[in-house]
Amino acid sequence: MIKKCIGCGVELQGEDKNKRGYLPQSVLEGESNELYCQRCFKIKNYGEYIPVEMTRDDYKEEVKKVLPEADVALAVFDIIDFEGSFDDEILDILREMDSIVAINKIDLIPDGKHPSEVANWVKERLGEEGIAPLDIAIVSSKKGYGTSGIFKKINYFYPNGANVFVLGVTNVGKSSIINRLVGKNIATESKYPGTTLKSSKKKLTNANITLIDTPGLIPQGRFSDLVCEKCNLDIVPSGEISRKTYKEGKDRVIFIGGLVKMRVVSNEELKPIFSVFASKNVTYHDTNLEKAKEMEKEGRIDLFSPPCEKCAEKYKQEKIVTEHFTVESGEELVFKGLGWVSVKRGPLEIEITYPEKAEIIIRNGLIKPKR
């Protein structure tokens, strides 16, 4: 019988240490069927990072295999990096089949928004993408909030049981949610992207529901994917989110880490008021145009983090572009995989310098400014 890793779903093998699914032959030949490959074992027990490449084609192949047996999709999105959780492969599947959408990391939302407000906002945003899920579950897999709601929703729509196709890009908390649903710490939950390699099935013990866990895809356009693993951990929202509010006039410059440079262009009598949100490990720096130029000329990377010294060189080699944005009151300017700027008093005319590979969009605000 072929044995599979219960962490990542890869087929186990005892021959080649350097290939996927390795486990010492002696363990593999033992009685147990609850086995982890050496890679998952190390991630689970020592937090060790062992990078593995999964291409988009690998992903499509995997999805093609799973689709015919799935009744419903359970898509996981990160509310703190909502647009950074989008990927065309996943959105296309959601446009075509019934789905339940889980919105995770609700514990990190500043201002303690009511779940129904978040659900309405998500519904509207997904509607703009042509997606109408059967239902939306608001959850925090870290705090254990709302995961039983997912279970109830599946049961409600599929009282006779279902094969549930679980989808999500890396880092949204897909593994954490599966672990909560299964009730045991099985899927290899990790702070590092790309840890689930192959689809794997997990049957829930108390219902006729089988979860089919697909690999997490690394989407395009996230700032967090342009830096090293350590900086990635600093940027990905898992701990606290920080907010800093500015009231700035023309030519003030704000750096978000060394990742983004924002120059206020607005020339209004009333200065625009806006708040910047990002992981608390991302530093901000505001200054005037002259000083900003000096700092850049002197290469004062010590002021800006992330990127760290190690990946700053690589980051600088990205093609950098400068673009002008106009953001109205109540709107947000989103840096995928990094954070967002919420405009209280607009319009905010702003010039952004950033790597062309990263994506910036304007959306209707999630965090509405207080009156």
174 binds ligand GDP per the rule CB under 6 A: yes
Q: How far is the CB of 253 from ligand GDP (least distance, A)?
A: 31
Calculate the alpha carbon distances from 345 to 268, 269, 360, 366 in Å: 11, 12, 20, 15
173 binds ligand GDP per the rule CB under 6 A: yes
Of positions 162, 172, 278, 311, contacts ligand GDP by CB under 6 A: 172
On whether the CB atoms of residues 37 and 197 are closer than 8 A, the answer is: no
The three-state secondary structure class of 333 is strand
3 binds ligand GDP per the rule CB under 6 A: no
Name the token pair of 23: 């486990």
Name the token pair of 101: 């959408």
Interface segment toward ligand GDP; rule CB under 6 A; list 100-108, 251-259, 307-315, 327-335: 100-108
Reported in sequence order, the residue ranges of the chain that DSSP labels E, i.e. its strands, are 72-78, 99-104, 135-138, 162-167, 200-203, 209-213, 241-247, 252-256, 260-264, 273-279, 284-288, 320-327, 331-335, 339-345, 348-355, 360-364
Residue closer to ligand GDP by CB (options 77, 255) is 77
Quick one: which H or E segment has residue 181? helix 174-182
Query: Of the candidates 318, 319, 316, which has an alpha carbon nearest to the alpha carbon of residue 299?
Result: 316
Of positions 44, 191, 300, 345, contacts ligand GDP by CB under 6 A: 191
The three-state secondary structure class of 321 is strand
Interface segment toward ligand GDP; rule CB under 6 A; list 83-91, 104-112, 114-122, 328-336: 104-112
163 binds ligand GDP per the rule CB under 6 A: no
Residue closer to ligand GDP by CB (options 172, 260) is 172
On whether the CB atoms of residues 237 and 78 are closer than 8 A, the answer is: yes
Q: Which residue has the tokens 């689809």?
A: 199
168 binds ligand GDP per the rule CB under 6 A: yes
Buried-state track 31-53, b at ≥16 Cβ within 10 A, e below 16: eeeebbbbbbbebbeeeebeeee
Residue closer to ligand GDP by CB (options 36, 325) is 36
Of positions 6, 108, 212, 312, contacts ligand GDP by CB under 6 A: 108
Strand partners, 196: none
Residue closer to ligand GDP by CB (options 173, 306) is 173
Binding mask 206-245 for ligand GDP (x = CB under 6 A): ----------x---------------------x-------
Of positions 125, 142, 243, 363, contacts ligand GDP by CB under 6 A: 142
Of positions 175, 266, 279, 281, contacts ligand GDP by CB under 6 A: 175
Residue closer to ligand GDP by CB (options 173, 258) is 173
What is the distance between the alpha carbons of residues 348 and 346, in angstroms, rounded to a whole number? Answer: 5
Of positions 171, 224, 266, 275, contacts ligand GDP by CB under 6 A: 171
Residue closer to ligand GDP by CB (options 8, 72) is 8
Residues that bind ligand GDP (rule: CB under 6 A) add up to a total of 20
Q: Which DSSP symbol is given to 78?
A: E
On whether the CB atoms of residues 234 and 259 are closer than 8 A, the answer is: no
199 binds ligand GDP per the rule CB under 6 A: no
140 binds ligand GDP per the rule CB under 6 A: yes
Residue closer to ligand GDP by CB (options 79, 343) is 79
What is the distance between the alpha carbons of residues 68 and 70, in angstroms, rounded to a whole number? Answer: 6
Residue closer to ligand GDP by CB (options 99, 171) is 171
Residue closer to ligand GDP by CB (options 106, 334) is 106
147 binds ligand GDP per the rule CB under 6 A: no
3-state secondary structure 121-176: HHHHHHHHCCCCCCEEEECECCCCECHHHHHHHHHHHCCCCEEEEEECECCCCHHH
Task: Please report, as ranges, the residues that interact with ligand GDP according to CB under 6 A.
Answer: 104-105, 107-108, 140-142, 168, 170-176, 189-191, 216, 238
